[in-house]
Amino acid sequence: MAKCSVCGKSVQFGHSVSHSNKKTQKIWKPNIKRIRVLEGGRVLRKYVCTRCIRSGVVAKAV
């Protein structure tokens, strides 16, 4: 579910690095919202990242 249906942004993996340089696994999830999108004259519910919403890539249904 943590994937944007418009741009495909999904989770990223990496390490948290402590002061002692100890590395533990870390996950960063994108900011995904479930919004009503106007697509092809129909209103659909999609999972979209906030960057796609803000940049106007998707048209929010009112």
Phi/psi region, residue 53 (left: phi>0; alpha: psi -120 to 50; beta: rest), is alpha
Report d(CA 23, CA 21) in Å as an integer: 6
Residue 31 tokens, joined? 């900011």
What pLDDT score was predicted for residue 62? 84
Q: Where are the domains of the chain?
A: 12-55
Task: Tell me what the pLDDT averaged over the chain comes to.
Answer: 95
Task: Give the ranges where the chain is alpha helix by DSSP (H).
Answer: 50-55
Tell me the pLDDT tens digit for each residue of 15-39.
Answer: 999 999 999 999 999 999 999 999 9
Report d(CA 27, CA 41) in Å as an integer: 37
Among residues of the chain, what percentage have pLDDT more than 90? 94
Q: What is the mean pLDDT of residues 2-27?
A: 97
Q: What is the mean pLDDT of residues 50-58?
A: 95
What pLDDT score was predicted for residue 7? 96
- What is the fold of 12-55? Ribosomal Protein L24e; Chain: T; (2.30.170)
